[in-house]
């Protein structure tokens, strides 16, 4: 087993564990902290896929900016009595457990029998440069320049509209 495969298994197991802990946690602040840990595990998996830009964006945008806002909202809501959040076993819980178990069996099949799907065992040589900042920049400002500029104009129009609506009328 290669070092990449071992790192992948470690990060995947930690990502699954933090996702499960995030879902079953009763305390919303602890749930948000487990989600941040999950974002870091996903960024590590992006790095193993040689998608450096996506890994950096995952940490900066999701773990940095968005989760800070989520934690601020949780703190401002001041959720009190956690006893009311207790959930009893019902049909949704049983159905969710069965579906999760089926998904786990499918993932184990894919990992234990990788040749059965007819997929190539190794990455193509040119795949190592796809996720780099240079290749993303070349795609963004080359092939996708027009959609990028249209999106920037739409965002500018949304900002001007939001400022206009928020401005106090004299």
CATH number at residue 75: 1.20.120.1200
Looking at the fold, whether 138 and 116 belong to one and the same domain comes out as no
Of residues 144 and 132, more confidently modeled: 144
Looking at the fold, whether 110 and 37 belong to one and the same domain comes out as yes
Would you state the pLDDT for residue 154?
A: 96
pLDDT tens, 117-128?
A: 655 566 677 777
Mean pLDDT of 8-35: 90
Would you state the pLDDT for residue 46?
A: 92
Looking at the fold, whether 161 and 102 belong to one and the same domain comes out as no
| pLDDT confidence bin for 170, thresholds 50/70/90 | low
Domain boundaries, position 88? 3-131
- Output the DSSP codes for the chain: --HHHHHHHHHHHHHHHHHHHHHH-SSHHHHHHHHHHHHHHHHHHHHHTT-HHHHHHIIIIIIIIIHHHHHHHHHHHT---GGGG-----HHHHHHHHHHHHHHHHHHHHHH-GGGGT--SS--GGGGGTTSHHHHHHIIIIITHHHHHHHHHHHHHHHHHHHHHHSPP-
| pLDDT confidence bin for 115, thresholds 50/70/90 | low
Of residues 104 and 81, more confidently modeled: 104
Of residues 151 and 83, more confidently modeled: 151
Q: How many domains does the chain have?
A: 2
């Amino acid at each position: 087993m290669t070092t990449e495969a071992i790192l992948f298994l470690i990060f995947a197991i930690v990502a699954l564990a933090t996702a499960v802990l995030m879902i079953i946690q009763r305390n919303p602040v602890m749930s948000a902290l487990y989600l941040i840990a999950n974002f870091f595990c996903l960024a590590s998996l992006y790095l193993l896929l040689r998608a450096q830009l996506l890994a950096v964006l995952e940490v900066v945008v999701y773990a940095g900016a968005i989760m800070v806002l989520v934690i601020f909202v949780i703190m401002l809501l001041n959720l009190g009595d956690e006893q009311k959040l207790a959930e009893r076993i019902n049909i949704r819980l049983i159905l969710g457990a069965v579906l999760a178990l089926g998904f786990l069996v499918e993932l184990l099949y894919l990992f234990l029998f990788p040749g059965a799907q007819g997929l190539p065992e190794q990455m193509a040589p040119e795949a190592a440069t796809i996720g780099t900042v240079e290749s993303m920049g070349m795609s963004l400002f080359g092939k996708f320049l027009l959609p990028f500029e249209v999106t920037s104009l739409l965002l500018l129009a949304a900002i001007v509209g939001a400022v206009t609506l928020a401005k106090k009328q004299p």
